[in-house]
Structure 1
Amino acid sequence: MTSGSFLGRNVDNIKGHRFSPPQVEMFKVDDCNKLSKEHFIGLKLRCAGLVIGKLEIDIMIRSTVAIFEILEKNWLAQDCTLVYIKIKFGVDVTKKEIILVDIIDCDSPGLLLLENKNQLKGSLQSRVVVLMESTSDLTHCEEIKKSCTNFGMSCELRVTSAHTGPEETLDILSEYEGDCIPTVFIAVAGESNGLGAILAGNTAYPVVNCPPLNAHWGAKDIWSSLRVPSGLGCSTVLSPEAAAQFAARIFGINDHMMWSKLRSCALNSWIALKQADANLREFRL
C-alpha cells in the first residue's frame, strides 16, 4: 500500500493505493538509491563468494512477496492491514545460497488499524476425519494423517463400512456434526466406493475420496469414486498428501495460519525448482 517514503519516490501514486501483486523495491544496504532488477543483475555483486545473478534476485523478490502476503494475512486477523515491510537478505557462506538475515518484529512493518472490527480473530480449529472401510487400508490412512499433522490439522482415523454397516457410518458422522468444529471428511475405500457418496449425501461438510489403489484393479476401482450420483459434491484425489493438502486449502479460506502454511509450501516448491533448474544447467554446461 502506498505511503511514506514510497510516495516521495513515486509522486504520481495515490496515497493508500493497494498494489496487487505487492510492489517490491530493491536497495543495497549501504545505498539509498533504488535499483531495478536489470541494474541489480548488471552490478554483478559478489557476496561471500556468490555472484548475485538473476536466480538469486528472483528468489529474493519471490520470497519478499510471500513473506509480505503471509504477514498481511495474519495482521488482518488482528484488525490491522500491513502497509509495507523492509526485509534484508544475505548469503550463507557455507552453502552459497540466498538466506533471510533480517529480524521481522513489530517495529519492522508499517501497520494501519482497520475500521471494520469483524475480521476473523485467531486461528480456527481444523479437524480431518478419515473413515476407512477396512484396516487393510491403515497404512494409506496413516500417510494422510501424517500429512495432516504437518499442516497443523488434527486428524482422527475411524473404521466403518458403507455397505455392511450404513447405520454405524451415519452414527459416526453424527458424532462430528454437533460440536461446530470445522471438519473435512476423507473417505478411504477401494473396489466399490460407496463410503464417500454416503458421507456426502448426509453431511454439509466437505467430503474427499482418497481410494487406496492397487496394481490389479486400481484403474477400474477409481471410477466408483469419480462417478457418484448427482447432488453429491465429493471430490476425489489419489495421493494421501494431496488429500491432506486439499483439506488444508478448504480451511485456509478462513484460517489465516493454515493459508500461511500453504503459501510457504508454494514458495519452497518454487525455490526448489529454480535451484534444480540452475544446477542442471550448470552440470550440462
Structure 2
Amino acid sequence: SCTKHEVCDEAFTLGKLSCEGKTKLVYDINSTTPGRCLIVSKDTITAGNGAKKNIMEGKAEMSTSTNASAMQILNDVGIKTSFIKVVNKNRTFAWKCHMIPIEWVIRRVATGSFIRRNVGVKEGYRFAPPKLETFFKDDENDDPQWGREVLEEAKLKCGDIEITSHLIDMMEKMSVTIFEVMEKAWQTKDVSLIDMKIEFGIRCDTNEVILADVIDNDSWRIWPSGDKRLMKDKQVYRNLKTITNNDMKNLKENYSWVSEQLGEVAESFRDQTKSTTVAIFMGSPKDMAHCNSIKASCSDLGVNCTLHVSSNGLGPVISGNTVLPVINCPPPSPQWCTADIWSSLRLPSGLGCATLLDPQAAALCSAQILAQRNPAVWARLRVKQMKNFLDLKQSNAELK
C-alpha cells in the first residue's frame, strides 16, 4: 500500500507477479480502479540479451523518471500509452496489456547492428523517412528479425485479438510518429535521436492497440549535437570490454543527465503550449459562436486563443497594419454570404491574408504556422495526421 513518500492518491494491495524482465517486474494490483498493473524498475543494466549484467545503484529511479517524462510528452500530444502515473521513485501505474511480442526499431541514422547486417551502408547514412524494422522477442534465438511477410503469416494472437495486416499497418504508422515526436522533443536540447525501440500491447479492458512497456535510456541511441563520441545511452555500456567502478560512475552520470534533460523537455512542451496564442477578432458579439468554434479547434491543437471585438473589414485592415500572418474566416450569413466571402478574397494590392471558410481549417492553418517554431504544436499536428490515418484504416476494416 502507499506510504507517505509515494505520489499515488489511493490505496492498493499488491497481487501476484505477472511477469519479470531483465530490468523490471510487473505485478497485478487490487484497487478501486480495475485494469491496472504496477511496474517496478530494477537497478539492473544488461546487454546481449542478459549475457552482460551489472547492478547500477539508482538506475531504477532514473528509469522511472525518464519513462514518466517520455510518456508525458507522448500523452500530452495525443499518443495513447499504457502509462498512468508514477507511484514512487521506482514504481509506476500502467494499464494492463497483452504484450505483442514484437520489438519495433525505428532508425534515423544507420549505425550499430544495421550496418553490420547491411554491408555497404556506411555509418551515418540518414533515413528519410525513418527506417522501420521488426524483431520477434525470443531471447533464446537472439530476437530474430522478421520481415513484414513473416509478421503477417505468423498470425500472432494477443488476448482475444489476432495481429492482422490491418493492425500491423496501424502500428507501423504509430511507430514512426512516436519516433518523430520524440526526435522533435530531443532536438530542443540539441540532442539527435539516432534510433529507438518500442513495444505495443493490447489494452486488456478496451482491446485498443497502445504504446506499452517502458521508454527509458535503454530504449534508444542519443547523440548530443549529433556527435557519436558524446553518446549518453546504453551503448556506452555495450561498448565496455571490462567494467570498473569509474565506468559505472560515468554510466550513472549519463543516465542521470538523460533523466534531468528529458524532464526539462516535458515541462517545456507544456509551457510552449501555454505560451502560444492566436488572437481572434470579430466584427461584433453576434459572431461569438463562430469564433468559439475556431477557438475550440485551436485548443485541440495546443494553441491558446484570445477573443476581441473590433470592426468590420477586419482581415484586410489588420493585414495592412501588421507583419504577422492573418487568416480570414468570415462567418457566412444567408443574406450576404457571397459578398462576405468576396470581401475577404478580393484584396487591394499589397495585402496578403489567406481566406478559409471552415473554422476548423482556420485553426489548423494557424497551428501549422506556429508549428514552425513551436515543437509542441508540431507534435500535436503530427499526431493528428496519424489519427486521421488510423481512423480511415479502422473504418475500412469495419467495412470488411
Place the TM-score, normalised by the shorter chain, in its bin: 0.7 to 0.9
Corresponding residue for residue 102 of structure 1:
213
Supply the distance in 1 between the matched residues of 2:208 and 2:297 (Cα, whole angstroms). Answer: 28
Residue 266 of structure 1 and its aligned partner are, at CA, apart by 0.9
What is the aligned counterpart of 2:198 among 87, 90, 95?
87
Q: Following TM superposition, by how much is the alpha carbon of 1:90 offset from its aligned partner in structure 2, in angstroms?
A: 1.8
Equivalent in the alignment of 2:136: 28
Distance across 2 between alignment mates of 1:220 and 1:106: 59
Partner of 1:129: 279
Q: Distance in 2 between matches of 1:51 and 1:98?
A: 11
Distance 2:217 2:354 in 1: 41
1:278 equivalent in structure 2: 397
Give me the whole-angstrom Cα distance separating, in 1, the residues matched to 2:278 and 2:116. Answer: 50
Is structure 2 residue 170 aligned with structure 1 residue 59? yes
Q: Which runs of 5+ in 1 are unaligned?
A: 163-193
Between structures 1 and 2, the one with greater strand share:
2
1:37 aligns with 2:145: no
Give the corresponding residue for 1:165: none
**Structure 1 equivalent of residue 361 of structure 2:** 242
Superposed counterparts of 1:114-125, under 5 Å: 114=225, 124=272, 125=275
Displaced runs of 4 or more, over 3 A: 93-97, 121-125
Larger mean Cα displacement after TM superposition, 60-69 or 38-47: 38-47
Distance 1:160 1:103, change over 3 A: same
Counterpart-to-counterpart distance in 2, 1:33 and 1:259:
35
Conserved 8 A contact 2:301-2:380: yes
Could you say what secondary structure the match of 2:198 adopts? coil
- Residue in structure 2 matched with residue 253 of structure 1 by the alignment: 372
- How has the CA–CA distance of structure 1 residues 115 and 93 changed in structure 2, closer, same or farther, with 3 Å as cutoff? closer
Q: Which amino acid aligns with 2:325?
A: P
Question: Structure 2 stretches of 5 or more lacking a match?
Answer: 1-108, 228-264
Q: Retained in 1: the 8 A contact 2:302–2:376? A: no
Question: Hey, what does 2:181 align to over in structure 1?
Answer: 70
Partner of residue 242, structure 2: none
Residues 90 and 99 in structure 1, CA contact (< 8 A), matched pair in contact too? yes
Partner SS, residue 238 of structure 1: coil
Alignment coverage as a number of residue pairs: 246
CA RMSD between the two structures: 1.9
Quick check: 1:4 aligned with 2:115?
Answer: no
Cα offsets for 1:53-110 (capped at 9, x unmatched): 1111111111110011111111111010100000101223444342211322343221
Deviation at 1:154, TM superposition (A): 2.2
Q: Are residues 223 and 147 of structure 1, via their aligned partners in 2, closer, same or farther at CA, if it must alter by over 3 Å?
A: same
- Which residue pairs with 1:175 in the alignment? none
Q: 1:226 maps to which residue?
A: 345
- Please state if 1:13 is matched with 2:13: no
Distance in structure 2 (CA, Å) of the matches to 1:63 and 1:17: 23
Which residue of 119, 130, 149 maps to 2:299? Answer: 149
2:279 is paired with a residue whose SS is strand
